Structure 1
Amino acid sequence: MGKAAAPAHVLVFPWPIQGHLNAMLHLAVALAGAGVHVTFLHTDYNLRRLGAAAAAVASPWLRFMSVPDGLPDDHPRTVADLGEIGRSIRTAGRAAYRALLASLQLMPVDAAGGGFPPVTTVVADALLPFATDVAEEFGVPALAFRTASACSFLAYMSVPRLVELGELPFPPGGDLDEPVRGVPGMEGFLRRRDLPSPCRHHGANNDTAALLGRLVNAALHSSKARALILNTATSLEAPALAHIAPRMRDVFAVGPLHAMSPAPAVATSLWREDDGCMAWLDGQADRSVVYVSLGSLTVISLEQFTEFLSGLVAAGYPFLWVLRPDMVMASQSTTNLHEAVMAAGKNSKARVAEWAPQRDVLRHRAVGCFLTHAGWNSTLEAAVEGVPTVCWPFFADQQINSRFVGGVWRTGLDMKDVCDAAVVERMVREAMESGEIRGSAQAVARQLRRDIAEGGSSAMELERLVAFIRELVMPIQHAESEL
């Protein structure tokens, strides 16, 4: 018999914001559960922010390490700073990552690293293309993980074709409801307003045009990775996956990961969750509550806050609203905003939290619909629980996600580009009361549960991914034996 295969050790490197950490930690838990050693690479800032919560998921198979992001500790790291965060990671973060990867390659199995073997594979966020390049320079095979939807990834890949066809840039003052040609499989329903948000301003703003260029280049760069991992299911996004696959070396559709291998919520959240909202939900009737959360990055004006509040109150249902301290621009204190919500909702019909245990909230019997920013994690979490959604996308992939929710899967309503109390009221009522929307949402949920069950498409893709990662160890082993 031949020599036993060396153990696999995957370094997982996410873009350091909430939504990306969330999805990639679920993958890390899945790999560790399959007997693969995993090192999850935070930034120093985020690992300090998580504190002891990170230990909730650590195990003999999964550990946490960190590198600096290059920004001072008191930097706000808000959505307005994403460009600066990206530039800093591409410089200071890249250098620290290179040094760490080199040290992990030299570490013997029985070293002080807790018995972890040398790194055999890197799974890097697809928005960090340098991470795959550096890994391959060290002879370490690298995979790209795109934490957004397959449909948004395909849209970014299609931007060069959209430019060639004259679809981009949009003409000044052009009709955003104009159909878009050039994104394969979406010609029948995609409008200008449904493209990822940087497309909308392409040509009008140098910073936004530069952002679009980086996102497009990152998508195209994924073809250089050994494979692309997507947190989706074939049943949800088969057409997009079919158009992506020929342009990648391999594609793994392994979602929804939060339902297959959930990491403890406390370890995936940079915000402290308000568990008291669960007790409040316990006191509400079945499917009577509107859950409102616009994610970890969305920022709204005080006027938009007022329109949302007026619409929610007019809809007449109890509501649970997640209001982050940094969410409302030019506002009074968060306390004043919370008091305004409670007063408008007549106390018993409203509950405010700075952050909520969203997966628990969405599976609670009292929740009837979800007013969401249509981030991909939130979209998947609602889909798994069969909860109808009202989508108010903020930026990036959320615009196209909301179009699929309202126009393709028909599991909710698309409220993009409108923030009017009357529209909020009407759409919330429709999502709460429509048997057709609820039926579609529950049908999708049943299919997703089949996908993640043993023998389902996503479960089998995850098994194939683990086998693929183990196979990547063999060429490294062979090369070392020849030295």
Structure 2
Amino acid sequence: MDTLGHVLAVPLPAQGHVIPMMELAKKLARHGFKVTFVNTDFIQTLLTNSSTKNEYYGNDEDGIRQVSIPDGLELGYTRTDFGRLTEAIRRVMPQKLAELIDKMNNDDMKIKCVFADNCMSWALGVAKKMGIKGVAFCSSPVTTLALFSTIPKLINDGIIDRNDGSIIRQQQAHLSPTMQSMSTATFPWVCFTDMALRESAFKYFVTITEDLKNADLVISNSSDELEPDTFASFPDLLPVGPLSASNRQGNQGGNFWPEDMACLPWLDQQPACSVIYVAFGSSTIHDKKQVEEIALGLELTGRPFLWVLRPSMYQKGNEEFAFCKEQLERRGRVVSWAPQEKVLRHPSVACFMSHCGWNSTMEGISNGVPFLCWPYFADQFLNERFICEAWRVGLGLEKDESTGIVRKDEILNKINQVLSNTSYKSRAMHMKEKLVKSVNEGSSRKNWNHIVEWIKN
């Protein structure tokens, strides 16, 4: 296939943003574009060190070339300080990206368009100054972009504080006259109990919203079927997803940790719709007591389970988990990272206990899997509302009020509710069918075709 031109993809340097941007890059490459995927040096090192990095991550042969630039922090420094990381990114990366584009243009690899994660929207300003088309890519629910754009009104209405976004009045907020109300408790920055972190996150969201004015187009890893009110109220936000619904092989790239592929033959040995899949993403932290309660709850179900338990997920370290791992593996399987797309499309999986990150939400809903919701931070509380209230394909897990722990009995009860009531699975399968149709022949496909022609011309 002759190349349609060269485009640049710039993800936020975080696991939940690199993966969907790689899905977007693969989709662009399949349509004939040459893609340069721009990671930070730190993230590139993680990917290089992952022993399961393979052809699905992208290489020159499949039209995706990988490069990296500095994020402004020394390589040995942790990237968990959100405020310091985002400040360094905005201070250092714009110039580094401009230099990269200049070099590529001089090397006869002229860039036609820059695709930037909406949380890296400063890259759109770089593109605009250099006379290059710019597309913002929202890898979270598009309702978050609608929310960020209404922050000035929320401040003027006395709902949030103008300095750090703290809630002044707990209520249901209307982002537009035609949208359903949104609880102030689900605002993405509100979940941060550390006030300095909350202020950093809030100010960052305000800044990226200003930067989005430099975008020629804003696209979203969502669909009309998932967020109909938002897309109707904000018609300039174009759905092109879920990208996972068009990746029918489940070949996912951009994982920071080695995937345990041996869990797939184990799934093959389990009965259809029997396995509880438990995975809380790349950032969730639980203490020893909570890990114990999850383990006991899973045991009580009497069902097989596949549990993704990152060493960094539990606060006390590996030695603290030795208490139950051997016992658990008599009935289930515990892995440090899983090939999630392949797991969720496996016929033995019955339900998904999830942190409700947007990637996991899209991957689960695109495969017709019911949810048990356990949000941790950011947009995950909003995503839980979509899953439980709008789409009605899952249930939330409630914490014990006195301890803040999700107890084993609660885990057992909610798993039994979801699996005994066939309506959850039925609605999930119905949504899967609608999403596959959307990316193959519906509005997401039409929007995508428009974008391809727009870049070409």
TM-score computed with the length of structure 1 as normaliser = 0.85
Query: Any conservation in 2 of the 1:252–1:465 contact (CA below 8 Å)?
Result: no
Residue 352 of structure 1 aligns to a residue whose secondary structure is strand
Residues 83/54 of structure 1: CA separation in 2 closer, same or farther (3 Å cut): farther
2:273 is matched with which residue? 287
* Amino acid aligned to 1:50: L
Q: Deviation of residue 199 (structure 1)?
A: 2.8
2:324 is matched with which residue? 340
Residues 263/67 of structure 1: CA separation in 2 closer, same or farther (3 Å cut): farther
2:296 is matched with which residue? 310
Q: Deviation of residue 220 (structure 1)?
A: 4.4
Residues 417/151 of structure 1: CA separation in 2 closer, same or farther (3 Å cut): farther
Q: Deviation of residue 259 (structure 1)?
A: 2.7
* Amino acid aligned to 1:337: F
Q: Distance in 2 between matches of 1:365 and 1:322?
A: 18
Q: Deviation of residue 23 (structure 1)?
A: 0.5
2:423 is matched with which residue? 436
Residues 423/273 of structure 1: CA separation in 2 closer, same or farther (3 Å cut): same
Q: Distance in 1 between matches of 2:451 and 2:334?
A: 41
Q: Distance in 1 between matches of 2:43 and 2:167?
A: 41
**2:377 is the alignment partner of 1:395:** yes
Q: Distance in 1 between matches of 2:155 and 2:423?
A: 38
% identity of equivalent residues:
30
Residue 197 of structure 2 aligns to a residue whose secondary structure is helix
Contiguous gaps of at least 5 residues in structure 2: none
**2:307 is the alignment partner of 1:360:** no
Q: Distance in 1 between matches of 2:38 and 2:239?
A: 23
Residues 430/273 of structure 1: CA separation in 2 closer, same or farther (3 Å cut): same
* Amino acid aligned to 2:34: H
2:111 is matched with which residue? 119
Q: Deviation of residue 177 (structure 1)?
A: 12
Residue 121 of structure 1 aligns to a residue whose secondary structure is strand
Q: Which residues in structure 2 correspond to 1:9-28 (within 5 Å)?
A: 9-28=6-25
The match for 2:222 among 228, 232, 236 is 232
Number of residue-to-residue matches in the alignment:
443
Deviations 1:98-156 (A, max 9, x none): 21112122222xxxxxxxx3011111111112211111111112111111011222223
Residue 436 of structure 2 aligns to a residue whose secondary structure is helix
Q: Deviation of residue 362 (structure 1)?
A: 0.7
* Amino acid aligned to 1:134: V
2:363 is matched with which residue? 381
* Amino acid aligned to 1:243: S
* Amino acid aligned to 1:228: V
Q: Deviation of residue 456 (structure 1)?
A: 2.2
Q: Deviation of residue 436 (structure 1)?
A: 1.5
* Amino acid aligned to 2:190: C
* Amino acid aligned to 2:125: D
**2:211 is the alignment partner of 1:214:** no
Q: Which residues in structure 2 correspond to 1:189-200 (within 5 Å)?
A: 190-196=182-188, 198-200=189-191
Residue 385 of structure 1 aligns to a residue whose secondary structure is coil
* Amino acid aligned to 2:106: L
The match for 1:131 among 102, 110, 123 is 123
Residues 374/350 of structure 1: CA separation in 2 closer, same or farther (3 Å cut): same
Deviations 1:70-121 (A, max 9, x none): 33333333xx33333222222232332121112122222xxxxxxxx30111
**2:140 is the alignment partner of 1:148:** yes
2:436 is matched with which residue? 449
Query: Any conservation in 1 of the 2:244–2:366 contact (CA below 8 Å)?
Result: no
Contiguous gaps of at least 5 residues in structure 1: 109-116, 472-483
Query: Any conservation in 2 of the 1:192–1:200 contact (CA below 8 Å)?
Result: no
Residue 326 of structure 1 aligns to a residue whose secondary structure is helix
Residue 267 of structure 1 aligns to a residue whose secondary structure is coil
Residue 73 of structure 1 aligns to a residue whose secondary structure is coil
Query: Any conservation in 1 of the 2:223–2:240 contact (CA below 8 Å)?
Result: yes
Query: Any conservation in 1 of the 2:117–2:138 contact (CA below 8 Å)?
Result: yes
Q: Deviation of residue 381 (structure 1)?
A: 0.5
The match for 2:446 among 449, 456, 460 is 460
Q: Distance in 1 between matches of 2:363 and 2:73?
A: 32
Q: Distance in 2 between matches of 1:440 and 1:411?
A: 6
Q: Distance in 1 between matches of 2:142 and 2:302?
A: 36
* Amino acid aligned to 1:362: L
Task: List structure 1 segments (4+ residues) > 6 angstroms apart after TM superposition.
Answer: 174-177
Deviations 1:423-449 (A, max 9, x none): 222212212221111111111011111
Q: Deviation of residue 201 (structure 1)?
A: 5.6
Q: Which residues in structure 2 correspond to 1:157-306 (within 5 Å)?
A: 157-169=149-161, 179-184=171-176, 188=180, 190-196=182-188, 198-200=189-191, 205-245=195-235, 250-261=236-247, 265=251, 267-306=253-292
1:107 is matched with which residue? 107
The worse-fitting range, judged by mean Cα deviation, of 227-236 and 279-288 is 279-288
Query: Any conservation in 1 of the 2:158–2:169 contact (CA below 8 Å)?
Result: no
Deviations 1:266-314 (A, max 9, x none): 6321110011111221222211111000001111222322232232222
Residues 209/91 of structure 1: CA separation in 2 closer, same or farther (3 Å cut): same
Q: Deviation of residue 42 (structure 1)?
A: 1.3
2:91 is matched with which residue? 91
Residues 251/191 of structure 1: CA separation in 2 closer, same or farther (3 Å cut): closer
* Amino acid aligned to 1:135: A
Residues 215/64 of structure 1: CA separation in 2 closer, same or farther (3 Å cut): same
Residue 127 of structure 1 aligns to a residue whose secondary structure is helix
Q: Distance in 2 between matches of 1:231 and 1:378?
A: 12
Query: Any conservation in 2 of the 1:386–1:445 contact (CA below 8 Å)?
Result: yes
Q: Deviation of residue 223 (structure 1)?
A: 3.3
Query: Any conservation in 2 of the 1:26–1:262 contact (CA below 8 Å)?
Result: no
